[in-house]
Structure 1
């Protein structure tokens, strides 16, 4: 039977931050499901910083074509299937994009295991590729956090940052979170359990960090880049500190003029390491990551708060909210 798919598409490119007028919305009829494909009713989409890089030509993530549906990861339920791999009613995860119905090759979708009281939304939350798994890989596989470490997290009130704070605490670290504004600072300490929060908007990050970690930081999980990365470099512990570069949202508005760190020589001076990572390169450890995160969820040690925007028509508004930092925790859209 035919289905009406309402989708959000890219109308035009723009230098700097996009505006609402750069996006369009339209209805498209889906009349059939080709062999090997499945039609998925999109339930929840994850609003991730990488989406921003698809809106600019020449980005790391493949640039979206004008007129194409905005890419996003999400979960949904199969409503029609022409594949032996999926049946109607299955819940799946994949690049469902900004739309109400996704017609996709079944091979591009991952069937969800909803045993052990897991919910579909957990797979765009604590167990999500771009949230919980990214946090686990950066903190544990890359930075090799250990008990007693002093861990600094930028973007600590966001989805990945929220997970990093809780995972670091679960591993016995002392955690300092950087966030914007007093309300987010309270969220980082009271809701997530960080030991200390620094308000970068107050303009005293370096002084506050020196006071909060006089012996220096052992691990820096960076989601922001720019000036905050230089401040972290200048406050590394005397030896064997580790920096995991997850992202640099402060730089995404001008990818042709990304600002690198001035103080990178601190790495040599303090026998430290800085390593960037792409979460999919660590797929061999996803099973380990999911098992640990699920156990922490059952024990009440990990709980990723959500900010949910209802309606696919508000997808672009939610995306701009992400860039402006107008949320705490995991920003989601439910079409």
Structure 2
């Protein structure tokens, strides 16, 4: 049996070093100033037709994989930047030599380059802001495409669908396989009254399941679901300054039966998070079309505040999950 050996800290996204927090508003403020602005809509997703060649997009680089997903969603491509890749490689090496887990580095330890991702990227190129995702695999199991498993984790997915302009990737392979992707240069592209759904409207190959290894845990703190195989997390993401609060999330199968789904709780630390999550308690069924209706509020720091949304879309799942580890028990 293979076991995934992620540390909990590995799935926490580094804080963005730019102004990305949304202003909080109380219920009384919202009542005093009802929203009269434009309607909140889903960002149009062109689907797989937007990808010129699907033959090897799943087996090439992490950035190629992400650009394929972004193309499906109608988002701009990330430019692969060798200078940012140097920052990612430095942190991958630091994690490897120190057997560390985290986005920060400590001065004085072997391989130290800079304390945080923005400082590391700025050693090689100027940027207004930066972010990072990474994962560490140990033992016998290493996924064929680690970035796919990182993308499955909903808050990491939100970071990778963010309005970044450039990215660089690195892999350190020693006793553990470490994959690091750094992002730089916010380039606002998602409209202030748009949200990006994933799985997206009309998608035909949505994954079925995911192992809950995200930190913070979208199922809530101190739950029994940590490490469990759950349904594939469904996300709504906004642009550079978006904050999304889900009020209701209705997920139904083709017979109209409601599928239990956990809305990720918000904490004080979530004020700048641009992604809202609902995770089904059980894996989704293969070759099944699910319908979604999500309601809530969208706030932009420099724009709309407490804008209500009521969005509906549907997606169809893929065949039985190809990742064998999802079919195996985990300690």
Relative contact order (C-alpha < 8 Å, sep 6+): which is higher?
2
Which protein is richer in helix relative to its size?
1
Whichever of the two has the greater Rg, that structure is: 1
Query: TM-score scaled to structure 2, two decimals?
Result: 0.23
Query: TM-score scaled to structure 1, two decimals?
Result: 0.23
